[in-house]
Structure 1
Amino acid sequence: MNSCKKGLFLAIYFYNMWSAYLILTGLLVLLTLLPKIQNQHWIFRVPEFGKIQITYFIVLTFLLGFFFRSAEYFWYFQGTLFILFVHHGVILVKYTPLYRVRKHQRGKRSSQKLHFISANVYQFNTEYDKFIGLINRNKPEMFLTMESNGVWENALRALEKDYPYHHKVTLENTYGMHFYSKIQIKNSTTHYFVAEDIPSIEIHLETEDGFSFVFFGVHPPPPSPTEEATSKERDGDLLSIAKRVKDISEPVLVVGDFNNVAWSRSSILFRKTSHLIDPRIGRAFVPTFHAKYQLLRFPIDLMFHSEDIFIKELKTLDNFGSDHLPVYCEFFIDHHNTGQEERIEVADAEEKAEAEEMIIEGKKEDGDRDAVVTE
């Protein structure tokens, strides 16, 4: 009798585990295929964010499958998982040190080393002193805050003695933006490319050793069930910036909370339209959101740069109470080093037309946002 109960228990356990394996395999196939559909609704775009986590689950499900080697069609399902792993792996390996890119040393005719910090501070985060301490410890020449409202602006005045140059866009809708610099600002502009409540900033600076460059700060809205139903405004905003950048002859950095991942279609179009380089390629994912959940962390705070800007270090810093980790970057400018020209990819005619269509759709989209957002 006991042996019968044990056999029944094992049969039920095997059946449940096999069912879980089949459900996981089907879900992983679905999450892989959805982003392939070029629809801008959040249902199709959100799975792009979790590509790293999806790949981990593919590996775990593949290993789980070996407990069912005697099951019918076992190798078909395992083969499917292996194909999924190769598909995601080919994309993700570019954002690891396994993908080799040439390293460049700072030459005698290059600028001094420069540093910036980019941080989505989270508008309702009240740990102002932690952020101020982070800036004082790392001492960047410039820093950018996003989601900074009037209260954050007041708190950041404590840093204005060390950062006498600034550009402030104070909003209460979680899209405020503040830029502070030790380097002289020659001129600055606030752009509203697709919506009157979504700013981007363009800052022209010149270092003491005579190197001019342009810093763009961006923070478009994300596609999500709780914010924007589609990625139209995000994509339109980013590609409008890409077109603006392409016409600038000086070195350029585009930095901020892109609410996007580097391997998405719109990010690739951004990179090709702007003729900029993604420094994560050959380096690391540098995931930033969510700061409190390491296993559910996505690389959505991005940066891109022109070919005469060379990145020496790109990393995240300690959490200061926000839902995003701050990004720290060390770079230098060198007009005489042409070693990065080969990394520039240029959009073809079809991609240019697609980018223009995304800009038009972004401007048409009517994002329903409150002027003042409360937690």
Structure 2
Amino acid sequence: MRYRTDKFVSVGIRPWGLLLAAAGMVCISTVAGFLGRLWWIFELASHFRAQYFLFLLASGFLFLIGKRRWPAILTGVFALINLSLIIPLYIAGPFAHSGDRMLRAMLINVNLSNRAYGTVRTFIRSVEPDFMVLLEVNRIWLDELQTLQAVYPFSRASPRDDNFGIALLSRIPFERAEIRHIGKVGVPVVVAQFKVDGQSLAVIGTHPVPPAGRDYSEDRNQQLDELARVVGLQEGQVMVLGDLNITSWSPFFGDLIRTTGLRDSRKGFGLQPTWPTGLPHFWVPIDHCLVSSGIAVHNRRIGPHIGSDHYPVVVDFSVESRKARRGQRR
């Protein structure tokens, strides 16, 4: 009896062809991520550098085992390109001198549809932040958090029934706090001015729209531009806490950093992805804490799952003292 071997050959070839096609698409996406200014979809491709790196690393290893030299080299090169964008997050930058008073800030996108009110309250009590920015809060959320008022008596909020309600809760008094509206859709931004050991600290909470289409992408970018102008109006040191709906690999995030002079608090602490909690293979770091040059970040971490599609962000920091700043100028 004769057996046909073409089916066995095709089965043997097909996995390599599929792997090569998939690796090719990831290589194309790697390049597309650098072209985000040309098309909003290209900009979306910039957010998955960690996934690209891991997939290309695994693909290159398989190609190497399979003695497919050129695919192994190609995937290796593109894996290194993505790795070069990730490594800086693990390298500490030029930080400010530590201040006399350690503070803790927290950012939570509670998720408007989240009903785990008790879980969120318990987490806040366990972390004990000095102040926090809460996103996607409506009137129900504010009512559920009323039990924290004795600990956080100072607040400014703009509750909404869409995804853009915002609140600032603080245990330390602020000199002033206001709600501003930015962008065409008038997304609220909370701006508060604190005094820390006699020095000014501006805290800005924000939540630009997600880039779900060309128009929304343009709106988000406009809101980031207006956010930069708000930062420029502040006195003293500045901290921005927000779900910016963008990762640090987007060219528009780079614009925000260059325009404001702020730095990413993740420097030295790694990727720290925050969204979406239910899809770990697609985790991306879109919840940010940006700080000015006079703020020393001592620790930054991601909190546990609290019912939201975002993980909380907790940052321990201090404001550089005047004495340390005078010493730097000598």
Calculate the TM-score normalised by the size of structure 2: 0.92
The total of aligned residue pairs comes to 326
Contact 1:217 1:255 in 2 (8 A): yes
Equivalent in 292, 312, 317 of residue 306 of structure 1: 292
Equivalent position amino acid for 1:21 in 2: L
Hey, what's the Cα distance between the residues in 2 that align with 1:184 and 1:245?
21
Deviation at residue 87 of structure 1 after TM alignment: 1.2
Deviation at residue 168 of structure 1 after TM alignment: 0.5
Equivalent in 178, 183, 186 of residue 194 of structure 1: 183
Hey, what's the Cα distance between the residues in 2 that align with 1:224 and 1:45?
11
Equivalent position amino acid for 2:60 in 1: F
Aligned to 1:184: 173
Contact 1:175 1:197 in 2 (8 A): no
Hey, what's the Cα distance between the residues in 1 that align with 2:283 and 2:135?
19
Hey, what's the Cα distance between the residues in 2 that align with 1:86 and 1:67?
19
SS in 2 for 1:292: coil
Report 1:35-54 matches (<5 A).
35-39=33-37, 41-54=39-52
Aligned to 1:216: 204
Equivalent position amino acid for 1:272 in 2: R
- Per-residue CA deviations over 1:261-285 (Å, capped at 9, x if unaligned) read 0121111110110011112123211
Q: Percent identity?
A: 21
Aligned to 1:88: 82
Deviation at residue 51 of structure 1 after TM alignment: 1.2
Contact 2:63 2:69 in 1 (8 A): no
Aligned to 1:350: none
Contact 1:95 1:280 in 2 (8 A): yes
Equivalent in 307, 310, 329 of residue 324 of structure 1: 310
Equivalent in 105, 108, 112 of residue 116 of structure 1: 105
Equivalent in 64, 73, 77 of residue 79 of structure 1: 73
Aligned to 2:241: 255
Deviation at residue 101 of structure 1 after TM alignment: 3.6
Higher strand proportion, which one?
2
Contact 1:62 1:82 in 2 (8 A): yes
Contact 1:40 1:232 in 2 (8 A): no
Calculate the TM-score normalised by the size of structure 1: 0.81
Deviation at residue 220 of structure 1 after TM alignment: 0.3
Equivalent position amino acid for 2:268 in 1: G
SS in 2 for 1:184: coil
Contact 2:137 2:165 in 1 (8 A): yes
- Per-residue CA deviations over 1:44-101 (Å, capped at 9, x if unaligned) read 22212211111111111112213542xxxx43322221221121111111012xx354
Equivalent in 103, 120, 128 of residue 131 of structure 1: 120
Aligned to 1:368: none
Equivalent in 155, 161, 178 of residue 144 of structure 2: 155
Hey, what's the Cα distance between the residues in 2 that align with 1:103 and 1:203?
23
Consecutive unaligned residues in structure 1, runs of 5 or more: 342-375
- Report the RMSD for the aligned CA atoms in angstroms: 2.2
Hey, what's the Cα distance between the residues in 2 that align with 1:160 and 1:297?
33
Deviation at residue 240 of structure 1 after TM alignment: 1.5
Equivalent in 44, 53, 56 of residue 54 of structure 2: 56
SS in 1 for 2:16: helix
Contact 2:53 2:80 in 1 (8 A): no
Hey, what's the Cα distance between the residues in 2 that align with 1:295 and 1:22?
20
